[in-house]
Amino acid sequence: MKLAKPRRPRSRSLDDALLPLVNVVFLLMVFFLSAGRFGAATPVTGTPQSQRAESGTAAPRVLELRSGGLLAMQGELFGDAELAGRCLNWLGSPLDVRAAGDVPAERVLRLLAILRGAGLRDVRLLTVKEAR
């Protein structure tokens, strides 16, 4: 009886070794894509909730920069001339600046420079997409 010499198992190629890794990466990609939120983001309406307000500190004031360049706070419209005087009352409290989506960047930067020059340090910039 003649026994055949056993063959050496075929060595795995690099492609065979990478196949499980590719499968895992693909499954992770599918998972994160399906776990994400589908659809457009909801527009910002009303006063944004601040984390500082939840932590027990003072709720930030909201200064709106409207598309015409006017400023508004709590429904009252005013311009840059009145802004410097009002900033004195806001020292030490947080301020949220909410800019409309169609306001030019130069206007936003000019407003932030005025606020910085008045001594306000706790300022957050919020942007709002323009309505379609």
Residue 132: pLDDT band (50, 70, 90) is low
> What are the tens digits of pLDDT across the range 61-91?
888 888 887 888 888 888 888 887 888 888 8
> What are the tens digits of pLDDT across the range 13-46?
777 778 889 999 999 999 888 887 665 555 555 5
Domains of the chain: 57-127 (3.30.420.270)
**pLDDT of 128:** 63
Most confident of 94-98, 99-103, 128-132: 94-98
Name the DSSP class of 9: P
> What are the tens digits of pLDDT across the range 98-122?
888 888 888 888 888 888 888 888 8
Q: How far is CA 43 from CA 10, 16, 61, 121, 124, in A?
A: 59, 48, 20, 27, 18
Q: Is the confidence at residue 59, as pLDDT, over 80?
A: no
Residue 53: pLDDT band (50, 70, 90) is very low
Helix (H, G, I), strand (E, B) or coil at 26: helix
Report the C-alpha gap between 38 and 41 in whole angstroms. 9
